[in-house]
Amino acid sequence: MKSFSLFTIILLCVAILVVDTVAFYWLQSITQLIESSLIRTAINVLFWVFTVGLVVSIIVLKITLDDISPTRKQVLISRFYGLGVLSFVPKLIFVIVITILYFSNYLLTETQSFFIVPIVGLLSGFLPFFVILHGIFKAIYKYKIYHHSLSSKKLPKSFDGLKIVQISDLHLGSFNYAYKKIEIAMEKINNLKPDYIVMTGDLVNNYAWELKGWDKVFKKLEAKLGKYAILGNHDYGDYSQWESEEAKKENFIGITEFFKTIDFELLMNESKIISKNKEKIAIVGVENWGTPPFKQYGDLEKALTDVQDISFKILLSHDPTHWTEEVIEKTDVVLTLAGHTHGMQAGFQYKNKQWSPIKYKFKHWAGLYEQNNQYLYVNRGLGWLGFPARIGMRPEITLIELRSTSN
């Protein structure tokens, strides 16, 4: 909320009031069917108490934002974000649907209109409300394991059956130190008995202090052979105002040192060669690489310097746009693991079909992609940022099992 001007916040509040006014107008066509005047009055009063309370709270929060502690600020912004969406979206859908029904009255008989308009109108408002409510309180912590098996003739036989678990976009500050919420995910990961665990960026929202106490949780992660990590765009502190460059640097050091504490090797434009039975593969990690306005810290050329002669390379790169711009047809990297998009934390998935508004921003936004025997996997994220919910886009733990087809 701090990134928006007071004028923008006021415009947002005006939009809320306009939609609520129209929603209230249409609501009267339904509440008039209630015989008790006391119940009708109670509904009307509660409607406006909630609306006015929300608008006033948003404005007050914006005005007093600078005086609130960073920890409290992060929590309040997220909660008001969720409350705003929970209030605004169902009412907007209700207004649209009931307006369409009203103009369809000319096609309906009086009896049909009497029953259809109230029932469909109420469903159009309540159904989105409960879907969002479920996303806020249930789905956001309902971790889903996506299991994929990838075959490649470039993978040495010694590494056939290698199991890699990928997690991404934890945004630990959003959890407000609710350690048990992620311990559930840690247990699921350990049950997969991975050879390697990789973390592909955005460990925090902005600050090193978000990591307090989380070391005890992440030390529970077990990998047979190793754990690796890279940085995401939120791990550099670029979205915060700092008293000095030194303060920003100290924050960055605090974040990078945390990986050592939890036994993850942080790869910053470098590679790790893994040997087995005299055969080798490479895990390559780049710093964040993204299209503007995201800064480009990543240097893929540098990261690949020492592994040019290794046929099977796994690249950890936070932003999936990197795959299109610098990886496919420009390198021989077989598998790229990314995150960043969160699948927008909202969408629709059924069997092999999936859709989210984020697809209009990112060509590759969730799941597995392949081009010319090069693969990209985009993790939907384990945590959340901003909107405190997951709607049709559950938090993800990815298990990738590698298979060798070499002779």
- What is the pLDDT, as a whole number, of residue 2? 44
Say if CB 273 and CB 282 are below 8 A apart: yes
- In 3-state terms, what secondary structure has residue 30? helix
For residue 383, the one-letter residue type is: G
Average pLDDT, the chain: 92
Report how far residue 44's alpha carbon sits from residue 22's, in angstroms, rounded to the nearest whole number. Answer: 13
Least confident range from 30-39, 115-124, 161-170, 245-254: namely: 115-124
Mean pLDDT of 272-300: 93
Give the per-residue SS3 of 46-68: HHHHHHHHHHHHHHHHHHHHHHC
What is the rounded distance in angstroms from the CA atom of residue 386 to the CA atom of residue 321?
22
Taking only the tens place, the pLDDT of each residue in 214-224 is: 999 999 999 99
pLDDT score recorded for residue 322: 97
Q: Alpha-carbon dihedral of residues 353, 354, 355, 359, nearest 10 degrees? A: -110
Q: What percent of the chain has pLDDT over 70?
A: 95
- The residue among 342, 271, 335, 338 whose CA lies nearest residue 309 is 271
347-394 pLDDT, tens digit per residue, is 999 888 999 999 999 999 999 999 999 999 999 999 999 899 999 999
Check: CB of residue 274 under 8 Å from CB of residue 282: yes
State the DSSP code for 391: B
**CB of 292 closer than 8 Å to CB of 324:** no
Q: CA 169, CA 306: separation in Å to the nearest integer?
A: 28
What is the distance between the alpha carbons of residues 181 and 388, in angstroms, rounded to a whole number?
14
Phi/psi-derived region of residue 83, left when phi > 0, alpha when psi is between -120 and 50, beta in every other case: alpha
**Cβ(253)–Cβ(209) under 8 Å?**
no
Of 89 and 33, which is predicted with more confidence?
Answer: 89
From the CB of residue 338, how many other CB atoms can be counted at a distance below 10 Å? 30
Distances (CA, A) of 195 to 160, 167, 222, 233, 273: 12, 14, 9, 27, 15
The confidence score (pLDDT) of residue 113 equals 61
Measured CA to CA, the distance from residue 62 to residue 56 in angstroms comes to 10
For the segment 309-337, the average pLDDT, to the nearest whole number, is 97
Question: Looking at the predicted structure, is the pLDDT value of residue 125 above 90?
Answer: no
Task: Specify the 3-state DSSP secondary structure of 353.
Answer: strand
Q: Which domains occur in the chain, in start order?
A: 6-137 (no CATH), 145-404 (3.60.21.10)
* Structure confidence at residue 1 as a pLDDT band (50, 70, 90): very low
What pLDDT was estimated at residue 110? 61
d(CA 245, CA 242): 7
279-285 and 270-276 strand pairing: antiparallel
SS (H, E, C) 116-175: HHHHHHHHHHHHHHHHHHHHHHCHHHCCEEEEEEEEECCCCHHHCCCEEEEECCCCHHHH
Report the b/e string of 163-197 with b at 16+ CB within 10 A: bbbbbbbbbbbbbeeeeebbeebbeebeebebbbb
Amino acid found at 165: V
Q: What is the pLDDT of residues 52-105, one digit of tens each?
A: 999 998 888 888 877 777 777 777 888 888 888 998 999 999 989 888 877 766
Strands 348-350 and 353-355: antiparallel
* Strand 265-266 versus strand 226-230 pairing type: parallel
Closest CA to 255 of 315, 214, 294: 214
